[in-house]
Amino acid sequence: MVVMRSVARGVARFALLMLAVSFLTFLLVGSSPIDPVQANVGQAAYATMSPDRREQLAERWDADTPVVERYLSWLGDAVQGDLGESLRFNEPVVEVVGERFASSALLLAASWVIAGAVGLVLGIASGALRDSWLDRLVRGYCYVLSATPTFWLALIALMVFAVYLGWFPLGFSVPIGSTGAVPLATRLYHMVLPALVLSLTGIANVALHTREKTIDVLGSDYVRFARSRGEGLGSIVFRHGLRNLVFPALTLQFSQVSEIVGGSILVEQVFSYPGLGQAAVTAGLGGDAPLLVGIALATAALVFLGNAIANLLYGAVDPRLGSRVREEVR
């Protein structure tokens, strides 16, 4: 019964989130000064187009329809699984989002895992060796990267490692001019540099948070007792402190799903990586409301899923929190 109530609340929150995201996206696109007809046919073609043809295109793309009326029409189709047709790609939104998400999924997953794993290791090492040269180095790295724009890091990485050193390709998810199936190793090679850049700022957040938690854990009573028994620092950290350190890092890492997704928009633009981020920019510049709403819903669902998984893992990592959640549900 408790599980059913929790699932019902989760489904209700998810439905309300989808409604809010879709309506706000429609409202923002409708308030934009971009003319979807002119943006998608091009200025030259629009200038030579007859007024009747402009009206036909505007009517077909609902450019002159009020936002609320357009949204209600879209919502009626969306409930049936039809998210409309992309003005920019001239394909169903579901197909465009599916193709772009497939390209972005591996990039987002790799960046997320790298940020969490490296951030956890650096944070534990920095906190365990407080005020050492390693601690100062890690903190300096985190402070600098936290204040550095992601797109600037991407540009620097592209110039250094792709242009000057030639270690990585200039961009794209596959070699230019490739047709047919591309080996997985080639796709991974094109993904390495964007994934590393996208993970850098996430590493800083996890490392700083884990460092503070490590300092708190090492100053606790049970750690002092372990020291009195003659246990070394490494044994104390891994046998007694790791569980308490993984929990807050895991919490922060799942909360950073939105930051990884948001950062991918800029990184994909710099590296010309054909994913959801690049499609979102294309849709925004073209006033493509159906596609932009589809991408917004996909990313919002991804963030919601990350938070839901975190809530499920909380009880597994810390049984006390799981019992507290069950009491609140009752």
What string of DSSP letters covers 176-232? TT--S---HHHHHHHHHHHHHHHHHHHHHHHHHHHHHHHHHHHTSHHHHHHHHTT--
Residue type, 238: F
User: Model confidence over 192-238: pLDDT tens digits?
Assistant: 888 888 888 788 888 888 888 888 877 777 777 777 777 677 777 77
Strand residues in 3-49 grouped as ranges (E): none
CA distance 19 to 123: 39
CA distance 196 to 162: 13
User: Model confidence over 236-259: pLDDT tens digits?
Assistant: 777 767 777 777 777 778 777 878
3-state secondary structure of 92: strand
- % of the chain exceeding 90 in pLDDT: 2
Mean pLDDT of the region 18-39: 82
Partners of 85 in the β-ladder: 92
- ∠ CA 21-26-30, nearest 5°, is 150
Is pLDDT of 42 > 70?
Answer: no
CA distance 200 to 255: 16
Q: What is the DSSP string of 117-180?
A: HHHHHHHHHHHHTTTSHHHHHHHHHHHHHHTS-HHHHHHHHIIIIIIIS--S-SSSSS-TT--S
278 vs 53 pLDDT, higher one: 278
Q: How confident is the model at residue 326 (pLDDT cuts 50, 70, 90)?
A: very low
Residue 71's CB is within 10 A of a number of other CB atoms, namely 20
- Write down the residue that tokens 């189709």 correspond to: 77
Predicted TM-score (pTM) of the model is 0.78
Is pLDDT of 47 > 60?
Answer: yes
CA distance 303 to 20: 14
Element of type H or E holding 105: helix 93-128
CA distance 19 to 12: 11
Mean pLDDT of the region 114-127: 88
pLDDT at 324: 45
